[in-house]
Homo-oligomer: A and B are copies of this chain.
């Protein structure tokens, strides 16, 4: 282990630097997972998660694993052998959904879109007359693109709508209930400003009623998890032990969510918007070309094309060694030709945007 550990500016696609309040939460005395004071923390986390999800869903909770396990939870609880799942793919995480759903035995109907473009809701719903679920990624971490989930919700018909909000929650507008999202999952380590390790999750009554009774995953079985997070009761008694919740991480998330709501969710979203605008304007002023389609660019995660004649890895290494700045490479076909720059959570600020631009300008010799 390198000593001292370098203090990185985590400007990649996540994890981001946590909110100070999240780090402080990790230093609090550890509580047991059935401690009445911990159960109160858990209840408050669930309540604050409802606010950032934009939902009144009773079954809103942090799953005890990372965002990808949230994806798995969404599918194992809703699709079984032979169920039709229509999945919109416009990047890596849509592709991953297809893999996960297929492992549940679903008949996957994949609706591909060009990477860098948002999904086309009408094409997605036209792919099958009566799917059990329709799934899409709100903010594609691989391409920096925002898709119109509200439009998909209006068109979904009887299908359950599953939405990946890993990179949108806590950073841009997210309205689970208003948009008709039935199942949503997210991650802790991006705009929520917590270290990786938790997957905020929400499912409405309609989806819960149509769930798989005994999913192939015990760990992610929402029917079993409900007893622990207090589904049947608003008191702190009568909780059923399921597994040992990561109490320290949940205290950390409590710190971050309290901070976000104290600042004001609208203000936090505006802060992401402003930081992203400064960054994206500045990149273009440097003569760089943005990758994501105009009008669908995420403020919290910017994709930019590597200029001709520039080696992607060399610049990333120089940012890391000279400035302690981490940015991400592209993904899949764009691994060498795109950079991903995230200004998420605590990092969504004008000063970080200016730092990023100044460092990149220097490393590019412009």
Residues of A within 8 A of B (CB): 1-2, 5-8, 10, 12, 14-15, 17-18, 23, 26-35, 37, 40-41, 44, 64-69, 71-72, 96, 99-100, 103-104, 187, 189, 195-197, 214-219, 242-249, 251, 254, 258, 320, 326
Contacts and interface: CB of A to CB of B under 8 A. Distances in A.
Given A15-B30, A69-B219, A246-B249, 15 more contacts: A1-B254, A2-B37, A8-B29, A10-B31, A14-B244, A26-B27, A64-B196, A68-B219, A68-B243, A69-B243, A96-B218, A103-B216, A103-B218, A196-B244, A196-B248
Contacts of A72: 217-219
Number of copies: 2
Contacts of A2: 37, 40
A244 B66 contact: yes
21 contacts: A1-B254, A2-B37, A5-B28, A5-B29, A5-B251, A6-B31, A8-B30, A12-B32, A15-B30, A23-B27, A33-B196, A64-B66, A66-B244, A66-B246, A72-B219, A96-B218, A103-B217, A187-B244, A195-B248, A216-B217, A217-B217
Contacts of A96: 218
Contact of A67 (B1, B6, B7, B244): B244
Q: Interface residues of A: mostly helix, strand, loop or mixed?
A: loop
Contact of A35 (B195, B196, B326): B326
A207 B103 CA distance: 21
A96 to B, nearest CB: 7
Nearest to A101: B218
Contacts of A195: 30, 246-249
Contact of A15 (B18, B23, B33, B104): B33
Nearest to A31: B8
Nearest to A99: B218
Contacts of A26: 23, 26-27, 248
A15 B219 contact: no
Contacts of A32: 8, 10, 12, 15, 326
A56 B217 CA distance: 30
